[in-house]
Amino acid sequence: MAGPVVKADAYQKPRGHEGAQAPLVVMPGAGFSTGAGVNAGVSLLAEGVNAVQQSNFEKKYAAAFDRVAKSVPGNVGTLVTKEVEPRLKKHPFFGPRVKSVSPNRIEVTITRHGFVRCGKRGSEVLVSPSIYGSWRLASTGGASAYGSIAAASPNFQKTLDEFAANPASIREGYRAAAVLAAESIMAELDKKAGSGGRASTPAPATGYAKASGSSPERLADLPLSPPQPIQQLGFTRGYNRFINQPTQKYRIGETEYKIAATPNGGTLFVMLPSTTAGGNKTSLGDSHYRTVRAFLQSKNIRIARERQVKAFFMPTGYILELTGDGYAALAPYRQ
């Protein structure tokens, strides 16, 4: 595979405000192939609130800022590629085809990394070494696969002072994030191989969907990462395009939801509020889905088409194409 590219200004100073959340990936004990969850606990706050929180964070942990920066590995891109290479060699489809001297190769780019807020312990802000970037499978015919990198290990959630006092934990935390980044890349390549190397790209939703039949049309699942398919659906209301997730909170009955919508409100992206440890999972057909469906039906709005959204094979939410403005119907239930 080609050597990694690390942007010159990739390392960013620690971020401790609530608008920044480490992309924690939880690996189950049974192994990656059984699935994993992605932290979705990101709240959109006013820019001024984020600035105040960041200022307070920097004052509280000022002595640790320079100390942790000095212990950050200088080869973050190599950490990721070293984890990808052995996995790639063992892959039954891509292993024989992707070589460093071949026109077929994987290119890894690290756009930013550093310590990002992942939760709190009492009054202390916890951060985790986080790696962001992209990967691209290049071939003689152009890029045949690509995706994003966003990973941080849930096993390395500490205060900035704790990381500063233990430089080895910084290196270990970065390596753990690199392992998860590599696993996410391989998961995407598995999906590409399974579909003949072609990733489906949904068309943007326009107008209101037309229902046919007694049950919604079931469309192909969408991965939470890479982000491009979900972004192309056109969500703008209650949606964070950087993490590709809904952020507007609702309460229907006893259940809280996070819901985003397209400009006309005719397509909804529904998730449950998540915790730092990996979040709640919701899927088409479960009780939370049935609650949303029943509510929409009570407003004479039907679900015409539905998609499951998954993060590393686990259901984390769903997208509903409606016969009317579901966003307007939900307005009284916004928190």
For the whole model, what pTM was predicted?
0.56
Contact 23, 38 (CB under 8 A): yes
Tokens representing 132? 């962001």
Which CA distances in Å does 74 have to 15, 116, 127, 290?
19, 18, 19, 49
Cα three-residue angle 48-279-116, rounded to 5 degrees = 45
Residue 186 pLDDT grade (very low, low, confident, very high; cuts 50, 70, 90): confident
Report d(CA 185, CA 82) in Å as an integer: 13
Q: List Cβ neighbours of 191 (8 Å cut-off, separation of 6 or more).
A: 199, 223
Identify the DSSP state of 286: S
DSSP 192-226: HHHTTT----PPPP-S-----SSS-EEPPPEESSS
Q: What is the pLDDT of residues 289-309, one digit of tens each?
A: 888 888 888 888 999 989 888
Q: Please give the angle made by the CA atoms of 298, 246 and 322, to the nearest 5 degrees.
A: 35
On whether the CB atoms of residues 107 and 141 are closer than 8 A, the answer is no
- Of the ranges 28-32, 212-216, 257-261, which one carries the lowest mean pLDDT score? 28-32
pLDDT at residue 55 in the model: 94
pLDDT greater than 50 at residue 133: yes
SS3 assignment, position 148: strand
pLDDT tens profile 243-270:
788 989 998 877 889 999 999 999 999 9
**pLDDT tens digits, residue range 65-97?**
999 999 999 889 999 988 888 887 887 777 777
- pLDDT of amino acid 35: 27
Q: Does pLDDT of 153 surpass 70? A: yes
**Start-to-end CA span in the chain (Å):** 48
Encode burial over 292-317: b for 16+ CB neighbours within 10 A, e otherwise. bbebbeeeebbbbbbbbbbbbbbbbb
